[in-house]
A and B are shown apart, each in its own frame.
Chain A
Amino acid sequence: MAEYWFIADGFEDKVRNFQNRKSEAEVNLEFAIPEKDFNSAGKGSSELKNLLKRLGVDSEILRRIAVASYEAEINVAAHSQGGTMYSAIYDDLIHVRFEDQGPGIADIEQAMVPGFSTANDLVRELGFGAGLGLPNIKKNSDAMHLVSESGSATFLEFIIYFA
C-alpha cells in the first residue's frame, strides 16, 4: 500500500499526542456515501458543519473543515464504488475518516499534484474534476493521511484543531 502523510508546520507534537490519546470522542457521526449519487453527495459535510456551528466552532475554522470534508466526500462519490465518512469530534479538534470500497488510487504522488484529475465526463459536467480535491483537503487540514493502491480500498483521514 502506498501512503501519504502531511502534517502542517508546528503541529507535529500535537498530532503525535492525538495518536496516543486514550479518550473517546465526545460526538461520533457516520454517513454513507453512495457511488455517483450527486444529489445527496455533500449532505454529510453540510450536516457536520451545522453541528459544529451549533457547538460554537470559529467560522473560518468551520469553513476549512467543511471544505476538506466536502472535497473528500465528493472524491468518494465520484471515484469509488461507495464508502463511509466517520467524524469524531473532541473538545479541541475534529478527526474525519473516509473509507471506500475501491478501486483505489494508482499513483498517490500524482493525485496530490494540483490539476491532475482522473474524473470522467459525467463528473466534469457537474463542475468537478479540477484536480484540486486532494490539494484542497491538504490546504485546509492541520494533518492529512492517505493510504491506497490500485485495486484496493482507499483510506483518507484529516485532523483540524479548533484553535
Chain B
Amino acid sequence: MTLSDIVALLEAEVLYPDADLDREVPCAFASDMISDILMCTKEPTLLLTGLTNNQVIRLSDMIDLTGIVFVRGKKPLPDVIDMAEERGLPIISTKYTLYRSSGLLFNAGLRSCKI
C-alpha cells in the first residue's frame, strides 16, 4: 500500500505540496502518547495520531516514520508543517477518528507494526 492509497481511503488532505506519496507503507501504529509511539523501533511505520505539536515531528528524528496521519480533522500549525517538509516527512489530515481511520486501513490490509 502506498501513501496515495491511504490518502484515498481516508479522504485525507495532504498538508504540503509535493509530499512524497509514492512511498510504500508496510505497517502502521496509532496513539496519542509519545512514549507509546517510541515503542516502534523495529521498522518504518505510518503513525496515526491526534497530537499536532512539534514533538510529533521530532519523533521522526528518533524512529523511522513513513508518514503521519492527523485524525479528527486536526492540522498542525504552519511552523510544525514546515518541520515535516524540511525532513521530507509526508503528513496528511483526515476528518475520520483514530478508531475509524485505523479500522479502514486495517481492513484494506495494512498490518500493525512490530513492537
Q: Which residues of A contact B (CB under 8 A)?
A: 38-39, 41-43, 45-46, 49-50, 59-60, 63-64, 66-67, 70-71, 74, 126-133, 136, 140
Which of chain A's residues has its CB closest to B60's CB? Answer: A46
B53 with A67: CB separation less than 8 A: no
Residues from chain A with a CB closer than 8 A to the CB of B54 are 38-39
Interface residues of B in 68-83 (CB under 8 A from A): none
Residues from chain B with a CB closer than 8 A to the CB of A66 are 61-63
Interface bin, chain B? 20 to 34
**9 further A-B pairs in the complex, CB-CB below 8 A; given A127-B32, A132-B36, A136-B38:** A42-B55, A42-B62, A46-B58, A49-B62, A63-B62, A70-B59, A128-B35, A129-B33, A140-B41
Which of chain A's residues has its CB closest to B52's CB? Answer: A127
| Chain B 19-63 interface mask (CB, 8 Å, partner A; 1/0) | 000000000000011111011011000000101011110110111
B55 with A41: CB separation less than 8 A: yes
Give Cα A129–Cα B32 distance, bound, in whole angstroms: 11
Q: Main SS of chain A's interface residues?
A: helix
Residue B64 at the chain A interface, CB threshold 8 Å: yes
B42 with A126: CB separation less than 8 A: no
17 contacts across the A-B interface (CB closer than 8 A):
A38-B54, A42-B62, A43-B58, A45-B61, A46-B61, A46-B62, A50-B61, A63-B41, A66-B61, A67-B38, A67-B41, A70-B62, A127-B34, A127-B51, A128-B35, A128-B55, A140-B41
Q: Which of B32, B59, B61 has the most chain A CB within a 10 Å cutoff?
A: B61
Which of chain B's residues has its CB closest to A50's CB? Answer: B61
5 smallest A-B Cβ distances: which pairs? A132-B35, A66-B62, A46-B61, A130-B35, A130-B33
Give Cα A127–Cα B61 distance, bound, in whole angstroms: 17
Give Cα A127–Cα B42 distance, bound, in whole angstroms: 21
B41 with A60: CB separation less than 8 A: yes
A63 with B35: CB separation less than 8 A: no
Which residue from B32, B33, B41, B53 sits with its C-beta under 8 Å from A38? B53
Task: Check A128/B34 contact, CB under 8 A, given A42-B58, A66-B62.
Answer: yes
A126 with B61: CB separation less than 8 A: no
Give Cα A43–Cα B57 distance, bound, in whole angstroms: 11
Give Cα A88–Cα B55 distance, bound, in whole angstroms: 25
Which of chain B's residues has its CB closest to A135's CB? Answer: B35
Distance in Å from the Cβ of A122 to the closest Cβ of chain B? 11
Give Cα A5–Cα B53 distance, bound, in whole angstroms: 34
